[in-house]
C-alpha cells in the first residue's frame, strides 16, 4: 500500500470545504488530529491500520486543507462537523481515535452521538486535566497573533530547525521539543490558518491552562471499549492525565510509548499503530443506544427533588 492510497477527498458541508483522507477496507476507524496538525500527519498510522480497516482522517475546519471560516471552533462544533462528514460519506458508526485536541473532540463526539461510537481511543489527549505547556498558555494571550506571524516566518523556522537538529545530534532527545514547535508553526503562515488556530486554542485553553475538562463525565465511558495511549516524553500534556483517566474509566486500557513525546503518530507511528490494531482486534464494538445511555445517567444521578420558590411554595 502506497502514499497514493491516502490521497485527499473533498466534500461541501454547509457551504464550507471539508477535506478528508481515506484508505483501506473493513470496519471504519476515524482518526481526529490535534491543533496545527492535519489528516496527512496520520499517514503512517493510517496505512498500517488500513490492512484491516477503512481509515478516515478528516481535516478539521480551520486546519489542513479544509476551509478557515470565521465561526464556531468549539469542541462541540468540531464534533458536529465530523458527524456531518461521516453522514455525507455513508458511515453510521466507527471506532473514534483522537490525538491531543482531537481527543477532546472525540470525547465530545461520544457525549453528543454515543450511538455512533463503537470504540474510543485517546492519544495524549486534552480535556483530562488543567496542566498544559507554557507555550500553549502563552499563545492564548491577547497579541499572540502578531507573535505567531513573526514566529511562522520561513527564516525563523529554518533557524529553529537547525538549532533543534544540532541539539538532537549532541544530546539525543533534547531537540525533540524544538522540532515539534517548528512542525507546529509551519501550518500557521497563512492568516486564515493563524486565526483558526487561535479561535480553536482559546476555546479550550487560557493563561491558567486547559479550560475544558471531561473528568466529571468519564464514568459515561463505562461500556464503550476505551484505549488511552501516551508518549513517555510528553512535555505538552502530562502523562499523569492519562493515568488518572485510566483509573476513572472502567475497563479502559492504557499504553505508553517510550520513544514518543506529544506526537506519537509522528514520533513512533509503528508503536502507535500496533497499539491501536491490538486494541481494535481485542475488543468488541459497542455503540451506546438511547436506553443504555439513560440507564448510565440514572445510575449516577441523585434523586430528583422539587425546588422551592422565594415564597416557600413548590415550583412544579
pLDDT tens column, 86-98: 999 999 999 999 9
Q: What is the largest CA-CA distance in the chain?
A: 75
The interaxial angle of helices 144-151 and 191-204, nearest 10 deg, is: 130
Give domain limits for the chain.
Answer: 3-132+211-298
Full-model pTM: 0.86
pLDDT at residue 121 tops 90: yes
Cα-based angle 135, 141, 145 (whole degrees, multiple of 5): 90
- Which of 52-56, 93-97, 109-113, 304-308 has the lowest average pLDDT? 304-308
Alpha-helical segments (H) within the chain: 43-49, 75-88, 101-112, 134-139, 144-151, 154-170, 176-185, 191-204, 239-248, 264-267, 269-282, 290-300
CATH for 3-132+211-298, options being 3.40.50.1820, 3.90.228.20, 3.30.479.30, 3.30.450.90: 3.40.50.1820
Calculated CA dihedral for residues 99, 100, 104, 107, nearest 10 degrees? 30
Q: What is residue 275's predicted lDDT score, i.e. its pLDDT?
A: 98
Find the mean pLDDT for residues 115-132: 97
Torsion region of 59: left, alpha or beta (phi above 0 gives left; psi -120 to 50 gives alpha): beta
User: Of 16-25, 49-58, 172-181, 213-222, where does mean pLDDT reach its minimum?
Assistant: 172-181
172: pLDDT strictly greater than 80: no
Give the pLDDT score at 122.
98
Reported as a single tens digit per residue, the pLDDT across 64-89 is 889 988 889 999 999 999 999 999 99
The end-to-end CA distance of the chain, in Å, is 63
Q: Single out the residue of 29, 21, 113 nearest to residue 60, CA to CA.
A: 21
pLDDT at 209: 92
Check pLDDT > 90 for residue 230: yes
Band (198; pLDDT cuts 50, 70, 90): confident
> Is the pLDDT at 246 greater than 60, yes or no?
yes
Residues near 248 by beta carbon (within 8 Å), at least 6 away in sequence: 215, 218, 219
Mean pLDDT of 180-198: 69
Please say if the pLDDT value at position 309 is more than 60.
yes
Q: Please state, for a pLDDT cut of 90, what percent of the chain lies above it.
A: 61
Q: Which residues are marked as active site?
A: 100, 234, 262
* Alpha-carbon dihedral sign for residues 82, 85, 87, 90: negative
Residue 192 has pLDDT above 80, yes or no: no
Contacts of residue 206, defined as CB under 8 A and 6 or more positions apart, other chains included, come to 137, 140
In the block, cell 491577547 appears at 142
Amino acid at each position: 500500500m502506497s502514499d497514493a492510497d491516502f490521497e485527499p477527498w473533498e466534500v461541501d458541508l454547509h457551504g464550507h470545504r471539508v477535506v478528508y483522507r481515506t484508505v483501506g477496507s473493513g470496519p471504519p476507524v476515524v482518526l481526529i488530529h490535534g491543533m496545527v496538525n492535519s489528516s496527512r500527519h496520520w499517514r503512517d498510522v493510517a496505512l498500517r491500520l488500513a490492512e484491516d480497516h477503512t481509515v478516515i482522517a478528516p481535516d478539521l475546519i480551520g486546519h489542513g486543507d479544509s476551509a478557515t471560516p470565521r465561526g464556531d471552533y468549539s469542541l462541540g462544533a468540531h464534533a458536529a462537523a465530523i458527524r456531518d462528514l461521516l453522514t455525507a460519506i455513508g458511515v453510521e458508526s466507527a471506532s473514534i481515535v483522537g490525538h491531543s485536541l482531537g481527543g477532546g473532540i472525540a470525547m465530545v463526539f461520544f457525549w453528543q452521538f454515543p450511538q455512533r461510537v463503537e470504540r474510543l481511543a485517546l492519544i495524549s489527549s486534552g480535556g483530562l486535566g488543567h496542566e498544559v505547556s507554557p507555550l500553549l498558555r502563552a499563545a492564548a494571550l491577547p497579541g499572540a497573533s502578531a507573535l505567531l506571524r513573526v514566529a511562522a516566518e520561513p527564516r525563523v523556522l529554518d533557524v529553529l530547525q537547525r538549532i533543534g537538529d544540532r541539539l538532537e545530534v549532541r544530546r539525543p532527545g533534547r531537540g525533540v521539543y524544538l522540532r515539534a514547535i517548528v512542525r507546529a508553526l509551519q501550518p500557521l503562515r497563512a492568516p486564515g490558518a493563524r486565526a483558526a488556530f487561535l479561535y480553536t486554542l482559546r476555546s479550550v485553553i487560557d493563561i491558567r491552562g486547559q479550560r475544558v475538562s471531561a473528568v466529571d463525565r468519564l464514568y459515561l465511558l463505562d461500556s464503550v471499549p476505551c484505549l488511552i495511549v501516551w508518549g513517555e516524553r510528553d512535555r505538552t500534556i502530562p502523562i499523569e492525565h492519562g493515568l488518572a483517566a485510566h483509573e476513572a474509566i472502567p475497563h479502559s486500557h492504557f499504553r505508553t510509548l517510550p520513544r514518543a513525546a506529544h506526537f506519537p503518530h509522528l514520533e513512533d507511528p509503528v508503536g502507535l499503530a500496533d497499539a491501536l490494531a491490538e486494541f481494535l482486534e481485542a475488543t468488541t464494538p459497542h455503540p451506546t443506544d438511547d436506553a443504555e445511555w439513560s440507564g448510565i445517567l440514572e445510575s449516577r444521578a441523585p434523586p430528583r427533588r422539587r425546588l422551592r420558590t422565594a415564597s416557600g411554595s413548590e415550583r412544579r
